[in-house]
């Protein structure tokens, strides 16, 4: 069974090779050492040692924050130039543990923009002062309205992406993926729903894409030719009037000459979580929720206009579907998130001829956006079990997982606020 094209090595544009055409997609682990300036924790190292042995050719980290003053969740790791007394050892341990199985390890680097929850003690900025629309009730009170960013703040974001990418290479990572999807800052600039600016950063698609292009060019110029540089981008925002397929095509044609080694195709945001198979304003039928490879059709269209490797992520959980993905084009890679989160050795099992298709339990209690939150919480529950050397519970009840997630987040937030205040005081002196 191991002679499948899925397990053949794959050369990236930078000349390096992946051992096969599978990738472990980014998942938000919330396993930073919050008492040590959100460095990688021993638990995170343990988790990624397991991922490294799991068989994937490329392993992407959960998103790494590039700014200690802009952190999506308190348990996210932070790699920034203003971390006091920076200790490289936890980072090197994390990276080397992941690479031990022969996979490349890339850090996904991100700035969340307006997607920072209330209570974090952090200022919230975005391209424009457009609030999050999470629907009625408590969900709509989770986020503050952002303040519009100044020209100097935008340039500061570009500089932070560059610093973090260069540092990632120095620490031993094989590449970085710039997060421009899921409603985070770069995605916010791309979308006419969230970017209402009238200066050179807003209005036309060319202006809205300026931040993405400047970040990519600056990062590519700052790292070595053999260091991987990729981007994760939405196929669509899945909201009326947002970034859509035609916009993606326009952007992709201009990415061809920017030295990228990978484009990951995804979709949605906190407001419309299509990346989990759930549309906020139009709940999907069960038959639709159970389908796999949500964004394969978008990748099939892009492969006609670019030779850059395309990573299709979203819902893949069976070997059959992964093979269908790579059969759709010579430059396609199958990205697996949830299924690997539930079964870290999934790719090795496929290679042995097995075909498990792990998935989270369904819930009769959670609906709408809470369905997506439940799925994410179930995966994170199992990530934490693996990180702590405990057996996984793939069928954990979504409501229970959400409760555990919220309790853990609250505990991390208290510790995070303490060191952020210390950082603010040090900066003011």
Q: What is the pLDDT of residue 411?
A: 81
Answer yes or no: are the C-beta atoms of 228 and 261 closer than 8 Å. yes
- pLDDT at residue 292 tops 70: no
- pLDDT at residue 2 tops 80: no
User: 152: which strand partners?
Assistant: none
- pLDDT at residue 228 tops 70: yes
Q: What is the pLDDT of residue 274?
A: 52
Q: How far apart are CA 174 and CA 6, in angstroms?
A: 21
Q: What is the pLDDT of residue 315?
A: 80
Q: What is the pLDDT of residue 425?
A: 55
Q: How far apart are CA 29 and CA 73, in angstroms?
A: 10
162-186 pLDDT, tens digit each: 999 999 999 999 999 999 998 899 9
User: 175: which strand partners?
Assistant: 106, 228
Tell me if 137 is assigned to some domain: yes
Q: What is the pLDDT of residue 206?
A: 97
Tell me if 122 is assigned to some domain: yes
Answer yes or no: are the C-beta atoms of 85 and 55 closer than 8 Å. no
Tell me if 391 is assigned to some domain: no
**pLDDT mean over 349-369:** 81
Tell me if 82 is assigned to some domain: yes
Q: What single DSSP character describes residue 41?
A: P
Q: How far apart are CA 3 and CA 21, in angstroms?
A: 12
Tell me if 377 is assigned to some domain: no
110-161 pLDDT, tens digit each: 999 999 987 777 889 999 999 887 665 555 567 889 999 999 999 999 999 9
In 273-285, which positions are buried (b, 16+ CB within 10 angstroms) versus exposed (e)? bbbbbbbbeeeee
Sign of CA dihedral 380, 383, 389, 390: positive
The structural domain count of the chain equals 1
Tell me the CATH number at 267: 3.20.20.70
Tell me if 75 is assigned to some domain: yes
| Weakest mean pLDDT among 45-59, 71-85, 247-261, 396-410 | 396-410
46-105 pLDDT, tens digit each: 999 999 999 999 999 999 999 999 999 999 999 999 998 899 999 999 999 999 999 999
Q: Is the pTM of this model over 0.85?
A: yes
Q: Which residue has the higher pLDDT, 48 or 2?
A: 48
**pLDDT mean over 316-343:** 92
Answer yes or no: are the C-beta atoms of 181 and 274 closer than 8 Å. no
- pLDDT at residue 241 tops 90: no
Mapping DSSP onto H, E and C, the string for 128-173 reads CCCCCCCCCCHHHHCECCCEECCHHHHHHHHHHHHHHHHHHHHHCC
Tell me if 119 is assigned to some domain: yes
User: 336: which strand partners?
Assistant: 24
User: CA 371 → CA 267, 366, 410, 411, distances in Å?
Assistant: 17, 5, 21, 23
Give the mean pLDDT of the chain: 88
Tell me if 413 is assigned to some domain: no
Q: Which residue has the higher pLDDT, 149 or 406?
A: 149
- pLDDT at residue 286 tops 80: no
Answer yes or no: are the C-beta atoms of 194 and 250 closer than 8 Å. no
User: 143: which strand partners?
Assistant: 117
The dihedral over CA atoms of 393, 395, 399, 400, expressed in degrees to the nearest 10, equals: -20
Answer yes or no: are the C-beta atoms of 53 and 98 closer than 8 Å. no
| Weakest mean pLDDT among 268-272, 341-345, 383-387, 396-400 | 268-272
User: CA 47 → CA 54, 237, 351, 415, distances in Å?
Assistant: 11, 31, 21, 22
> Domain range spanning residue 34?
5-359
């Amino acid at each position: 069974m191991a002679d499948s094209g899925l397990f053949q090595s794959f050369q990236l544009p930078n000349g390096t090779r992946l051992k096969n055409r599978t990738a472990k997609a980014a998942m938000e682990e919330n396993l930073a050492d919050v008492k040590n300036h959100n460095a990688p924790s021993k638990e995170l190292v343990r988790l990624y040692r397991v991922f490294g042995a799991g068989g994937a050719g490329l392993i992407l980290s959960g998103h790494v924050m590039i700014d200690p003053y802009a952190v999506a969740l308190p348990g996210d790791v932070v790699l920034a130039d203003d971390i006091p007394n920076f200790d490289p050892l936890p980072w090197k341990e994390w990276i080397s543990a992941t690479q031990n199985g022969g996979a490349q390890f890339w850090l996904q680097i991100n700035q969340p923009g307006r997607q920072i929850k209330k209570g974090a003690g952090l200022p919230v900025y975005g391209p424009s002062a457009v609030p999050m629309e999470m629907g009625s009730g408590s969900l709509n009170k989770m986020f503050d309205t952002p303040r519009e960013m100044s020209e100097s703040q935008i340039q500061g974001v570009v500089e932070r992406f560059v610093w973090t990418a260069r540092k990632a290479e120095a620490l031993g990572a094989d590449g970085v993926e710039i997060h421009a999807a899921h409603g985070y800052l770069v995605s916010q600039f791309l979308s006419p729903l969230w970017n209402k600016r009238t200066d050179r950063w807003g209005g036309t698609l060319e202006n809205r894409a300026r931040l993405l292009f400047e970040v990519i060019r600056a990062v590519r110029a700052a790292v070595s030719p053999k260091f991987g540089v990729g981007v994760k981008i939405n196929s669509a925002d899945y909201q009326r009037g947002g970034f859509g397929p035609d916009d993606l095509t326009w952007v992709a044609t201009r990415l061809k000459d920017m030295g990228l080694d990978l484009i990951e195709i995804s979709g949605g945001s906190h407001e419309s979580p299509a990346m989990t198979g759930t549309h906020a304003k139009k709940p999907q039928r069960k038959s639709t929720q159970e389908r796999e490879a949500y964004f394969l059709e978008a990748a099939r269209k892009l492969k006609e206009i670019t030779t850059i490797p395309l990573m299709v992520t979203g819902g893949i959980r069976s070997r059959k579907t992964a093979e269908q993905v790579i059969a759709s084009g010579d430059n396609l890679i199958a990205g697996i998130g949830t299924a690997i989160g539930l079964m870290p050795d999934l790719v090795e099992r496929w290679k042995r001829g097995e075909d498990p298709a792990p998935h989270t339990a369904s819930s009769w209690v959670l609906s709408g956006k809470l369905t997506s939150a439940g799925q994410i919480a179930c995966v994170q529950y199992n990530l934490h079990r693996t990180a702590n050397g405990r057996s996984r519970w793939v069928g954990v009840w979504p409501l229970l997982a959400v409760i555990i997630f919220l309790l853990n987040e609250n505990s991390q937030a208290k510790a995070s606020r303490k060191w952020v205040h210390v950082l603010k005081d040090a900066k003011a002196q």
